[in-house]
A and B are shown apart, each in its own frame.
Chain A
Amino acid sequence: MVLAGATALAPAFSFEALAADTSPLLLDASHFALLSAVADTMVPVTDTPGAIAAGVPRAFDALLRNWASQERRATLIGALETIDSLSNQGEKQPFAKLSPTKRHALLTAYDAIALKAPSGTTATPLTQPPTEIDPQHGRARQEAPSAPSTVTKRGRTIYSTEPNVVDPAYAKLKQLIVVLFYFSEVGLTNELSYAHDPGSWDPSLPITPHTRPMGGPSLI
């Protein structure tokens, strides 16, 4: 098989891949604990497993190593540290040490503030549809954001870039954690429906209590 360099193969985040991945983490122990607490708060255990069981923290650390630019890495770590400093100020404790209830309360409050449109602009009611969508199934380009976003011009091509919100770093952090969860085998199996090989096209089916949205990459 021809693949573009070794980085193109890493990191998948099936459990097998995560178990086999012995490379050292980029984040130090306290940042990894903070990341794990944030991921667990965003996607907690309910009647189904959450982000921890899905292996999200380790997969996120791998993204920092293998995907993120230096600038992106700093921004994402900064977003984690913002949450920790809120906790240190309000609760006099690191975020990772808070009870799940307090973590949920703190992050819910910050989430609402952070994802507001900056003053003087309006958020769209839905994802800003990215420019380069595949018209056949509405698939977005890879970097298309999934939060309300700004539109900037480069030449005459219009790009959706970073989320147009009060704290874009937080929005990106949340997006990556949530997307990693719903791409994971745990997330896809328990929350959505995914068949790699559906085999046939059925254009009309009744909705039942078991109907779930279709999972998989790149659906807006």
Chain B
Amino acid sequence: MFDAIVIGSGMSGGIAAKELCERGLKTLVLERGRKLEHGGSYTDFMQPWELPNAGMVNEQELERDYAIQRQCYAMNSATQQFWVKDSEHPYSVPENKPFSWIRGYHLGGRSIMWGRQSYRLAPIDFEANAKDGHGSDWPIRYDDLAPWYDHIERFIGVSGSKEGLSQLPDGEFLPPFALNDAEVMFKQAVEQKFPGRHVIPGRVANLSKAQPHHEELGRSTCQVRSLCERGCTYGAYHSSLSSSLPAAERTGNLTIVTDAIVHSIVYDPKTKRATGVRVIDTNTKEARTYEAKIIFGCASTIATAQILLNSKSDAQPRGLANSSDMVGRNLMDHIFGLTVVGLLPSGPNTVYRGRRPTGLYIPRYRNVSEPGAFLRGFGYQAGVSRMGWRTAALATPGIGAELKERTRKLGPWLVRMSGFGEMLPNPDNRVTLHPSRTDNWGIPIVHIECENGPNEHRMAKQIIEDATAMVEVAGGMVLPSNSELGAPGLGIHEMGTACMGKDPKRSVLNKFNQAHDVPNLFITDGSAMASSGCQNPSLTYMALSARAADHATQLLKAGIL
């Protein structure tokens, strides 16, 4: 019998485990994938000429096993081991409603390959549902979470600049990765022409300057390599392997079991509590049950919905913690794939050194300082850099000495802007269990039905128009690029399937991420999100996880749980 079981070892599970262990709870972390070793499982040592197949995954394997995962920019022969084989882990979608579920099953989950962008939600984000009536009103406001954002930022290490913006609150930052000269020029042009828009260094969970509490865990300062998604032997970015699980481990309270797929959560109708977790061994397919006083669901939003729905019982026939019928509903991502690229012929006559692990960020301004013909808003991740050698060598005809000569020349400045927009919570965007198909372990596969609505399409149009205007104001020539909304899922920010809320009839979790129906069950991954904001969400999942772990421990110690 453990004090706590944490389902999932990724971004949220790692932090939940750390916080519970640090409060003295004997904690079991269950991970469905295989064990990875920090350092030993990484491929960041590979020089370009050591990359298997020059970085390309075998075409036949790509076609057969990675139909969905291949859509992710970070998928290559050096990271192939970190992505699931879609052929082994199927899910279904309706015809004409694609959803790209990008994921990795191993210790640390997607915290190994994440984009590391770390932004706080703002007061307006927590108020949005109440204001326009979409989704469940958040049972917390910014001030409830602010100290936990501080706590997480300090622990994981976030580099960034203080800007004093109400729509993107400042945090406890390490020094920012500064803008390069072309980005400074871009910033000046945009901010002068469009008051209220801000061009700031991207806030990123890379240690621009490791602090003693990072070094204690064996982490060190970022070497500016941008090999992050291969795993970082320096531990320079936060992941479960480099950071949260080692912190949990040093308390002596942590047990990790890998290769254990959670089938369902066991519920006792007499005590009205969850008593344990049923797992199936990934390799032997043997079934086991682990018991604990409290359970944390951190499996990621789609998997958490799957587990809850698959935990139905006579007492909870719609699935565990689902008396509201909200489990699986309100699936959101950030609208994504909207990119504008431009040449900046008038850029400064300088260059930069290093491969900075971030770019620049333009916080939301629509429905903040400028109106929008839609609800909510969007932000941009962007960057200005010298055009790369590939384009110099290959974009135009020519071979031989001429090709070598032109490829040696420093390329012109190129600006790239990608919008990330808030998707409204919509109960019809949902995860259900497939009525007949099961996976290799006999568990019903998920059926994902999710599409962008009119608000998202109006926002998408504005994202492209605004980015085009900003590139042009900086003197840029806009090049043809993608202006169509990508399939939901590709933002890899899926969330919302067990929303927090004030009303147990319309939400799954209370203000401490505690299931309304099952008091010793806490869900702290992306499922808990009542709305998505437009900011990259991992920081919020971690802050919610830490806050819920603190509360759960208090309830346990007070004898309430």
- A and B: real partners? yes
Could you say which of A151, A158, A198 contacts B354, with CB atoms under 8 Å apart? A198
- Of chain B, the residue at the smallest CB distance from A165 is B397
User: Is B389 within 8 A of A11, CB to CB?
Assistant: no
User: Is B403 within 8 A of A178, CB to CB?
Assistant: yes
B191 in the interface (beta carbon within 8 A)? no
- Of chain B, the residue at the smallest CB distance from A220 is B388
Instruction: State how many angstroms separate the Cβ of B195 from the closest Cβ of chain A.
Output: 24
Instruction: State how many angstroms separate the Cβ of B154 from the closest Cβ of chain A.
Output: 22
Q: How many residues of A contact B (CB 8 A)?
A: 100
* Among A115, A143, A203: residue with most chain B CB under 10 A: A203
Q: Which of B222-230, B309-317, B427-435, B519-527 contacts the other chain?
A: B222-230
Measured between beta carbons, the chain A residues less than 8 angstroms from B490 are 132, 157
User: Is A213 within 8 A of B411, CB to CB?
Assistant: yes
Within 8 A of A (CB), among B404-433: 404, 407-411, 414, 416-418
Measured between beta carbons, the chain A residues less than 8 angstroms from B368 are none
Measured between beta carbons, the chain A residues less than 8 angstroms from B383 are 135-138
* Among A66, A68, A157, A178: residue with most chain B CB under 10 A: A157
- Of chain B, the residue at the smallest CB distance from A199 is B223
**Residues A124 and B418 in contact in the complex (CB < 8 Å), given A2-B36, A131-B486, A156-B487:** no
Within 8 A of B (CB), among A105-136: 107-108, 111-112, 114-116, 124-129, 131-136
Measured between beta carbons, the chain A residues less than 8 angstroms from B62 are 143
Instruction: State how many angstroms separate the Cβ of B467 from the closest Cβ of chain A.
Output: 11
Could you say which of B389, B409, B481 contacts A215, with CB atoms under 8 Å apart? B389
User: Is A220 within 8 A of B73, CB to CB?
Assistant: no
Instruction: State how many angstroms separate the Cβ of A216 from the closest Cβ of chain B.
Output: 6
**Residues A1 and B410 in contact in the complex (CB < 8 Å), given A136-B202, A156-B487:** no
User: Is A213 within 8 A of B416, CB to CB?
Assistant: no
* Among B353, B382, B411: residue with most chain A CB under 10 A: B353
User: Is A157 within 8 A of B71, CB to CB?
Assistant: yes
User: Is A9 within 8 A of B52, CB to CB?
Assistant: yes
Within 8 A of B (CB), among A133-165: 133-143, 146-148, 151, 155-158
* CA of A197 to CA of B401, assembled, Å: 30
Instruction: State how many angstroms separate the Cβ of A211 from the closest Cβ of chain B.
Output: 6
| Chain A-chain B contacts (Cβ-Cβ < 8 Å), number | 313
B90 in the interface (beta carbon within 8 A)? no
Instruction: State how many angstroms separate the Cβ of A112 from the closest Cβ of chain B.
Output: 5
User: Is B382 within 8 A of A43, CB to CB?
Assistant: no
- Of chain B, the residue at the smallest CB distance from A113 is B397
B140 in the interface (beta carbon within 8 A)? no
* CA of A53 to CA of B407, assembled, Å: 18
Measured between beta carbons, the chain A residues less than 8 angstroms from B404 are 43-44, 46, 48, 50, 191
Q: How many residues of B contact A (CB 8 A)?
A: 105
A93 in the interface (beta carbon within 8 A)? no
User: Is A7 within 8 A of B40, CB to CB?
Assistant: no
* CA of A104 to CA of B401, assembled, Å: 10
* Among B75, B343, B404: residue with most chain A CB under 10 A: B404
User: Is A140 within 8 A of B395, CB to CB?
Assistant: no
B391 in the interface (beta carbon within 8 A)? yes
- Of chain A, the residue at the smallest CB distance from B42 is A1
User: Is B349 within 8 A of A129, CB to CB?
Assistant: no
**Residues A125 and B479 in contact in the complex (CB < 8 Å), given A136-B383, A203-B180, A217-B48:** yes
Within 8 A of A (CB), among B345-359: 349-359
User: Is A44 within 8 A of B482, CB to CB?
Assistant: no
B98 in the interface (beta carbon within 8 A)? yes
A28 in the interface (beta carbon within 8 A)? no
Instruction: State how many angstroms separate the Cβ of A47 from the closest Cβ of chain B.
Output: 9
B residues adjacent to A (C-beta < 8 A): 34, 36, 40-41, 43, 46-63, 70-77, 80-81, 96, 98, 100, 115, 117, 177-181, 183, 202, 223-226, 337, 339, 341, 343, 349-359, 380-383, 385-401, 403-404, 407-411, 414, 416-418, 479-482, 484-487, 490
Top 7 A-B residue pairs of the complex, sorted by shortest distance between their CB atoms: A219-B388, A135-B418, A155-B98, A198-B354, A135-B381, A69-B59, A67-B53
Known: A2-B81, A13-B49, A178-B403. 10 other contacts (CB 8 A): A44-B401, A69-B63, A129-B339, A129-B480, A134-B74, A135-B382, A157-B98, A182-B407, A205-B353, A220-B391
